[in-house]
Amino acid sequence: MRENNMSTTSASVTGEHSNDLERSIDWKQGLAIASGVPLLILPSLGYFPLWVASAAILIWGLSVLQGFMQNLAYAELATTFPKASGLPGFAQNVFKTQNYDGNYDKGKLIGGFSAWSYWFAWNPVLAIFAILVGSYLHGLFPVLGTMFTEYQLSLISGGVIFSVLLIINSFGLKDSAILGYILAAISLIPLVVMTVTPFATGAVEISNITNSWLPADWSWDMHHILILFGLFAIAQWSACAWETAAIYGPEYKKPGTDVP
């Protein structure tokens, strides 16, 4: 009888731990995962100046500041609820009713809604970058342009890239973080070169910025204000996205020190 109880207890403990997220990464690997976020500026890099000229600098600066404050809150949640599964888990823990025995608690509802909202907000990234890759391939390689349309190249490149990522992610977050190191170097080096080269060569004219903070045809009517809000949404979509370093809190080896 005692052996049966011990077996049952061991099985329940094993089952409990098997459902926990594996703590397999540290702050360096979390940083590698988040370092891919700067690539999100590429779809809007040429789009912003067309609408707001030099004021794009202010939009990006304010968005980064807002993202910094937001991610401080995410980091605190990750350390306060180390067993929660990312932002949906944080929301569920914050809003759950203490000592509630029912099946439907508002914490579960808000947590589930948060998960679907998070998925809904990030899902377009796949399509946006597939379209962007297809557009680049169509323009850079005329031979491909004679064989495929831009739409077809987007579908093919998107299918190949996301299939490879799906295979890599199936091995777990730790191995994905290793790939993050490689992709970070490949993606960030060109961005750094693009940013530093104009200043290093003296090609930057500050007057081009200070003399055209807004386009000549800009007016503060409802149409342009809505455009401004839309641009802020696009900027924050990428400027705040380094939250990925915080939402993996349950998978850090030492969340109390790794997340901050």
Distance CA 171, CA 199 (A): 42
Q: What are phi and psi of 199, to 5 degrees?
A: -70, -40
Domain that holds residue 53: 21-123+174-258
Could you tell me the two tokens for 31?
Answer: 């940083």
Asked if the structure places residue 6 within a domain, the reply is no
Asked if the structure places residue 237 within a domain, the reply is yes
Asked if the structure places residue 153 within a domain, the reply is no
Which position has the higher pLDDT, 23 or 81? 81
Asked if the structure places residue 8 within a domain, the reply is no
Helices (H) and strands (E) in the chain, counts: 14, 0
Check residue 259 and give its pLDDT. 59
pLDDT digits (tens, 9 = 90+) for 111-150: 888 878 877 877 777 787 788 888 888 888 888 888 888 8
Indicate the pLDDT class of residue 79, thresholds 50, 70 and 90: confident
Asked if the structure places residue 185 within a domain, the reply is yes
Asked if the structure places residue 146 within a domain, the reply is no
Which residue type does 201 have?
Answer: T
How far, rounded to the nearest angstrom, does the alpha carbon of residue 83 sit from its chain's CA centroid? 21
CA dihedral 94→99→101→107, nearest 10 degrees, is -10
Asked if the structure places residue 136 within a domain, the reply is no
What percent of the chain stands above pLDDT 70? 71
Tally the domains of the chain. Answer: 1
Check residue 222 and give its pLDDT. 92
